[in-house]
Amino acid sequence: MKARAALLWEQPGKWQVMDVDLDEPGPDEVLVEMVATGLCHSDDHMAVGDVPLPHLPYCGGHEGSGIVRQVGPGVRTLKAGDHIVTSFVPSCGACRWCAGGLQNLCDNGARILTGAQLDGTFRMRADGKDVATMSMLGTFADRQVFDEQSCIKVREDVALDVACLVACGVPTGWGSAVHAGEVGVGDTVIVIGVGGVGINAVQGARYAGARHVIAVDPVAFKREKALELGATEAFESIAEAADFGRGVTNGQGADTAIVTVGVIEGQNIADGFNAVRKAGTVVVTSMGSPLTTGVPVNLFEISMFQKRIQGALYGMGSPRESVPRLLDLYADGLLKLDELVTRRYRLDEVNEAYADMHAGRNIRGVIDFRH
């Protein structure tokens, strides 16, 4: 069958929207008509070359939602007509990590940068060449074939053009505060970078009962949105935020600092480390280059002050638990999703959307395939 998709043909490069060939769903796979996909910074890392790709051409996108239109042999949990949200880690449910409630660390995660499906083959072709997909998904396409393990069935009374946000940005940010940061009632929390992920760390920290949720971002628009969505204070620099955090904690420092900048450097982690109190936690959520190493932290403080640096993938939550729960919170008015969407774009506008992201004009852009 035919589909229309945004592909990357070189690194660095621009997304090229074109017609592609798509296979029918095979065993344990489903064909999904895409309704929407969020424009996450992680996909842009591929376009600018922050993360080397093993295979080109490449279909981006991993924050998707849609409707199942066809199921292949052996599919047990989905049927035609079901609404789904994608999972960028295809959780098997049987490995050590899944069995221990850590679906975000499923052994299948080792394959998500290969560009191929679980069986090592491809479902999409362009100009006669196999097309790799982001995280075994490739949601920058108006229809796509996914493994059943990459799909989470969701309630049908939530609009899919906002439900797509709980595929990545929302649970990653929310969980960075609630799970990884273990934010508690009365805490002081600093969120460094309040884009599509950080803004949800703000929401999560506020929901968990933090007294001070301090947002840090050089872009005024993002600071304003953070204050609308739960931040109690907002500053342009981490230096100002750290000073304020010490000022409201008798000089001790914040309980938790969450690093959610767009492109992380070791200094960002060091800034969070210097801003937290004894036994405080620095949550590192931002994705960096696998070729970059080094964090300039004080080695005396890390042991003698008992500080903790905690990495967080998918907010340290399990996709099949987090996605339905967050949509329930949204339905109950306890989580804001509509307010996260700054603008909706057509697929043909994907490069414009990322230009807006780089310019600081978006909290989250969404491609709406219905337009």
Range of the domain at 34: 2-167+336-368
On the question of pLDDT at 346 being above 90, the answer is: yes
Structure confidence at residue 263 as a pLDDT band (50, 70, 90): confident
Please tell me whether residues 363 and 243 are part of one structural domain.
Answer: no
Task: Name residue 126's beta-bridge partners.
Answer: 129
Coil/strand/helix, residue 60: coil
Which residue in the block uniquely carries the two structure tokens 């204070």? 233
Residue range 243-260: average pLDDT? Answer: 98
Helices 350-358, 41-48: axis angle to 10 degrees equals 100
Q: What is the pLDDT of residue 58?
A: 97
Please tell me whether residues 306 and 185 are part of one structural domain.
Answer: yes
Q: Comparing 233 with 293, which gets the higher pLDDT? A: 233
Please tell me whether residues 271 and 297 are part of one structural domain.
Answer: yes
Q: What is the pLDDT of residue 274?
A: 98
Edge to edge, what strands does the sheet with 254-259 contain? 233-235, 212-216, 188-192, 254-259, 276-284, 308-311
Q: What is the pLDDT of residue 277?
A: 98
Task: Please indicate, yes or no, if residue 331 is contained in any of the structural domains.
Answer: no
Task: Please indicate, yes or no, if residue 326 is contained in any of the structural domains.
Answer: no
CB of 24 closer than 8 Å to CB of 1:
yes
Please tell me whether residues 246 and 298 are part of one structural domain.
Answer: yes
The pLDDT tens digits for 7-48 are 999 999 999 999 999 999 999 999 999 999 999 998 998 999
The pLDDT tens digits for 168-199 are 999 999 999 999 999 999 999 999 999 999 99
The region that residue 335 occupies, defined by phi over 0 for left and psi between -120 and 50 for alpha, beta otherwise, is beta
Omega of the bond leading into 12 within 30 degrees of 0 (cis): yes
pTM for the full model? 0.95
Q: What is the pLDDT of residue 192?
A: 98
Q: What is the pLDDT of residue 50?
A: 85
Task: Please indicate, yes or no, if residue 194 is contained in any of the structural domains.
Answer: yes
Residue range 62-84: average pLDDT? Answer: 97
Residue 187 belongs to domain with CATH number = 3.40.50.720
The pLDDT tens digits for 94-147 are 999 999 999 999 999 999 989 999 999 999 999 999 999 999 999 999 999 999
Neighbours of 220 (CB within 10 A): 11
At 44, list the tokens. Answer: 């842009």
At 91, list the tokens. Answer: 């959780």
Task: Please indicate, yes or no, if residue 320 is contained in any of the structural domains.
Answer: no
Please tell me whether residues 151 and 175 are part of one structural domain.
Answer: no
